[in-house]
Amino acid sequence: MRPGKLPPEMLAGLLARLPTGDPRVVVGPKVGEDAAVLDFGDRYLVAKTDPVTFATDLIGWYTVNVNANDIAAMGAEPKWFMGTLLLPESHGEHEIAAIFDQLADACREVGVTAVGGHTEVTIGLDRPIMIGCMMGEVEKGKLVTSGGAKRGDAIILAGPIAVEGTALLAREAEGLLRYTGMAATAVARAKDLLFDPGISVVAAARAAVQAGGITALHDPTEGGLATGLLELALASQVGLEIAADDIPVLALTREVCAALALDAMGLIASGSLLIAAQPDHADTIVQALEAAGKEAAIIGRATRREDGLVLLARGERVPLPQFDRDEIARFFDDQV
């Protein structure tokens, strides 16, 4: 197997083997869903676990944010964080303390409380790996899943695509980007995309839900926007028609992808949020997102499942591109 997510068909078969008989499980393991949902009486507990494996710096900050995003993409508020930190033998006390400082800063920014976890030095690692677990809560009746989109719904994208991937590549492949001719100032700006516009979608999800008319939310991450759209379609059992020219892409992202021969559609995409909404609410949601400081655009619509996933590009209808692994994983593999 190559690095990256398992193919959806394989994952669905594996998930089907797991016991899911507890009646309090509202949303269990399913391809395309962002988090689990458990019935806790007057409200739902929402739980998510996600690792950070591509980054070598700021992994504490990444871990809190990517896990909080998945809670927010269920319409919930992230509340409690736990993490498992696996360290290589080469790491010293100063480097370990820096990761904990990142965790502390990120928890404060997102507004969550760290409640526990595990830390150890592990043999065989050449870099630290961190796995986060975020929990949150949402009132019954306000839960949003990836599986609620209906035929005719507008598909909205909050945030430009591949912000996380662009920043990661600038941080992990700075030398190569400079070698290809990218200016030092441009590389520095690309690094800073991690914070501006940033990879958090917590505020965006909150604004979208409050605007009303939301039928589904999904947080595209590994595999980029293309994989996020596939996961949304699988969860909702719909087709999608997406307009390529309407997808927001930063000039820096285009420059980094061109320099490294990568496709932004398949590049890890934390910082974006996919929203399915009733058509008559779409413009209101876009306005609410922009008022919250998040660039947003209507990029397509949900269609019949049998119509498949279609990209409207250069006046033609073509299949939406699919990536069997994230473009950043392919890039790192090619460097070995």
Which residue segments constitute the domains of the chain, with CATH numbers given? 8-139 (3.30.1330.10), 154-335 (3.90.650.10)
Report the Cα 258 to chain-centroid distance in Å: 22
**Positions of the chain with pLDDT lower than 70, given as ranges:** 336
| Residue spans of alpha helices (H) in the chain | 8-15, 59-72, 93-110, 163-172, 174-179, 184-192, 202-211, 224-236, 251-260, 282-291, 327-335
pLDDT of res. 26 = 94
pLDDT of res. 332 = 85
Residue in 134, 113, 116, 130 with CA at minimum distance from that of residue 35: 134
Q: Which residues contact 276 (CB under 8 A, 6 or more apart)?
A: 148, 149, 150, 153, 154, 155, 156, 214, 215, 216, 217, 232, 236, 302
pTM of the model: 0.91
pLDDT of res. 315 = 84
Q: Give the CA dihedral 277, 280, 284, 286, nearest 10 degrees.
A: 50
Q: Are 242 and 229 within 8 A, CB to CB? A: yes
Phi, psi of 139 (to 5 degrees): -65, 145
pLDDT of res. 336 = 58
Q: pLDDT (tens digit, 9 = 90+) per residue, 251-263?
A: 999 999 999 999 9
